[in-house]
């Protein structure tokens, strides 16, 4: 019977947790998806890249709302059991309050493990995959970005100006600059032109104009080439969207190496293909690792704070006051979990305090549970 009761409690909690967490994640995801429409409207990426990018961002959003959803769900379920007198089922079947609280802590540990797997491995990998779509994608919708009498510099190292465009897409008086590298560039002017497609590739077909070849940024020795018809390959153009991985997208091992180097090692800068390790980036790496690990311990704290509801006597005149106090305490620790990583730096004492603070809070809370368990609030 005891297993059935605990299974029912777990089922109710997980059901409500999934409703809350998925609802919040979807709301945030939709808002962010609207913001990422710039990939299409300004950067010219195709819908395939856009949908792949926003889809791979969903696990990150979900991992962000788990801690909040966990506390709200646990608080609500315990409150619901008390209001409907379902909590009495535990007591009448010989399940003590402390045993129920220990079961809630076990649930907290389970969610802690799930969250650690998410933030340590799954989320960084998916974030990096989403960035890969941007790195490897071409400007599929570049033609839709070109407007009359406006300089378009959406594309990296490329600027184009078109004086007039008719309904069929034919352009007149075209000027473009293509920066080949830091020292060499081309300036092209053409009387007319249009965008043509050959398979999956796009070209800008230009007629009657001049090409100004500039080498070593020396405009005085630039070569002028006259043409009647030429094509410019648009398929290799890249947008200005950031393609370099952010700290949140890096593998945890890379972050550990940088932190170890500056906190305990030779304190030497080094460069990887996707990451530059310096004193500044080592601190950022430490904060990110804190968020991926120590921050998740607050799930245990929030679970045990919600457990205080079990000790409240429904007939107590201060019943509502205690509930508000427990809810406020949970919200306080939610805020603390978000800001605690800001104290991480090169100071070993500050780091130790930030790391052990949630552990101390958990131990103190559990001791309080023992004391309050002697008599119901």
Q: What digits encode the pLDDT tens for the residues 332-347? A: 999 988 888 777 776 6
Instruction: Report residue 347 as tokens.
Output: 């100071």
d(CA 341, CA 338): 7
pLDDT tens-digit readout, 282-338: 888 888 888 888 889 999 999 999 999 988 877 777 888 888 999 999 999 999 888
pLDDT(12) > 90: yes
pLDDT tens-digit readout, 66-81: 999 999 999 999 999 9
The SS3 call for residue 223 is strand
Q: Does the CA dihedral 89-91-92-95 come out positive or negative?
A: positive
Work out the average pLDDT over 10-19.
95
Residue 162, pLDDT score:
85
C-beta atoms surrounding 285 within 10 Å: 26
Compare 53 and 132 and report the one with higher pLDDT: 53
Work out the average pLDDT over 82-103.
88
Residue 14, pLDDT score:
95
pLDDT tens-digit readout, 213-246: 888 777 666 778 888 888 877 766 655 444 456 7
Averaged pLDDT score across all residues of the chain: 81
Residue 107, pLDDT score:
95
C-beta atoms surrounding 114 within 10 Å: 14
What does 132-176 look like in DSSP terms, one character per residue? HHHHH---TTHHHH--BT--B--BTTEEEEEEEE-TT--EEEEEE
pTM: 0.73
């Amino acid at each position: 019977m005891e297993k059935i009761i605990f299974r029912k409690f777990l089922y109710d909690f997980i059901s409500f947790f999934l409703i809350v967490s998925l609802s919040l994640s979807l709301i945030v995801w939709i808002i962010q998806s609207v913001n990422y429409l710039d990939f299409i409207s300004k950067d010219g990426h195709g819908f395939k890249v856009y949908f792949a990018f926003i889809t791979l961002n969903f696990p990150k959003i979900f991992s962000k709302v788990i801690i909040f959803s966990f506390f709200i769900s646990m608080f609500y379920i315990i409150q619901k059991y008390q209001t409907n007198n379902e909590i009495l089922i535990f007591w009448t079947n010989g399940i003590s309050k402390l045993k129920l609280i220990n079961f809630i802590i076990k649930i907290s540990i389970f969610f802690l493990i799930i969250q650690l797997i998410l933030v340590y491995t799954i989320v960084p990998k998916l974030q990096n995959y989403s960035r890969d779509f941007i790195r490897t994608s071409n400007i599929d919708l570049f033609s839709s970005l070109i407007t009359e009498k406006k300089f378009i510099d959406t594309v990296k190292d490329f600027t184009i100006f078109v004086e007039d465009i008719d309904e069929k897409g034919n352009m007149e008086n075209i000027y473009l600059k293509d920066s080949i590298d830091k020292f060499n560039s081309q300036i092209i002017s053409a009387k007319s032109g249009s965008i043509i497609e050959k398979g999956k590739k796009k070209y800008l077909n230009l007629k009657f104009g001049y090409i100004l070849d500039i080498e070593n940024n020396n405009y005085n020795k630039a070569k002028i080439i006259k043409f009647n018809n030429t094509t410019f390959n648009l398929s290799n153009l890249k947008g200005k969207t950031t393609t370099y991985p952010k700290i949140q997208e890096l593998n945890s091992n890379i972050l550990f190496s940088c932190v170890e180097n500056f906190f305990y090692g030779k304190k030497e800068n080094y460069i990887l293909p996707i990451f530059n390790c310096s004193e500044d980036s080592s601190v950022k790496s430490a904060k990110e690792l804190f968020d991926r690990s120590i921050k998740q311990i607050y799930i245990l704290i929030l679970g045990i704070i919600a457990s205080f509801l079990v000790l409240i006597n429904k007939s107590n005149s201060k019943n509502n006051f205690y509930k508000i106090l427990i809810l406020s305490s949970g919200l306080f620790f939610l805020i603390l979990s978000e800001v605690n990583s800001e104290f991480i730096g090169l100071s070993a004492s500050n780091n130790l305090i930030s790391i052990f603070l949630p552990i101390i809070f958990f131990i103190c809370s559990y001791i309080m549970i023992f004391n309050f368990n002697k008599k119901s609030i």
